[in-house]
Amino acid sequence: MSNLILLRHGKSTWNAQNRFTGWVDVDLAPEGKLEACKAGELIKKLNYEIDSYFSSLQKRAIHTLELIINTLEHKSKKIIKAWELNERHYGELTGLNKEDMKKKYGQEKIHIFRRSWKIAPPPLNRKNPYHPLNIEIYKNIPLDKIPDTESLQNTYDRVIPFYKNNIENLIFENKNIIIVAHGNSIRSLCKYLFNLSDTKITELEIPTGNPLLINFKEKLKINSCNYLDQNRKGDLLVKF
């Protein structure tokens, strides 16, 4: 038996401002830090030995995981950071207010940009300071891997190979894993793990700072899953 804990980072400063964030490297809001500490307390109650910690390359995920590790008193544990677990790139919507964009494009169009499987927003100009090419933490990523925009499918196509190559075998070996990432990278993982259809995935919303515990039995089959904070759980769209 092994356990995988998936967590969307705590609320960020741009979440609080209702802005499209994507690959921009913003930090946690005060509320997000509290969410991370509470997530740590909930995980601590499980009394599991955590074998590996993974996060995206973005500091809102890294800092969330660092607060959890501090709460668990596992300070010597190494975080494996991967750009493949980054949030989806929102193209030209990046940095803009979501309500303002609903007025510009219409609510239905913005919903499609945010939730659809294949449709990506228009690309972000590469000279824009919010473009990943102009953000220091991405300087070591191969240029052909840096997107101008992404659909959820594009996000899935980088998240899932990383998961299969770096995490799935650990679960097969009965290890306990924590992954702290983002709304759309977690949605990608859920689509794969729960075999959600391209249509069904559009309905899935991932709450910030609430650990999703997935228990595996033999041969990587999921035995159970539940949010640790039952007072603010999301709808997984699956039943066990």
Known catalytic residues are 9, 87
The answer to whether 137 and 25 have CB atoms below 8 angstroms apart is yes
CA 43 – CA 130 distance, rounded (Å): 34
The answer to whether 190 and 236 have CB atoms below 8 angstroms apart is yes
CA 146 to chain centre: 18
34 membership: H or E segment, kind and range: helix 30-46
The answer to whether 54 and 167 have CB atoms below 8 angstroms apart is yes
CA 56 – CA 54 distance, rounded (Å): 7
CA 93 – CA 89 distance, rounded (Å): 9
Cross-strand bridge partners of residue 132? none
The answer to whether 114 and 106 have CB atoms below 8 angstroms apart is no
The answer to whether 177 and 4 have CB atoms below 8 angstroms apart is yes
Closest CA to 38 of 11, 1, 60: 11
Burial class (CB in 10 A: 0-12, 13-18, 19+), 217: exposed
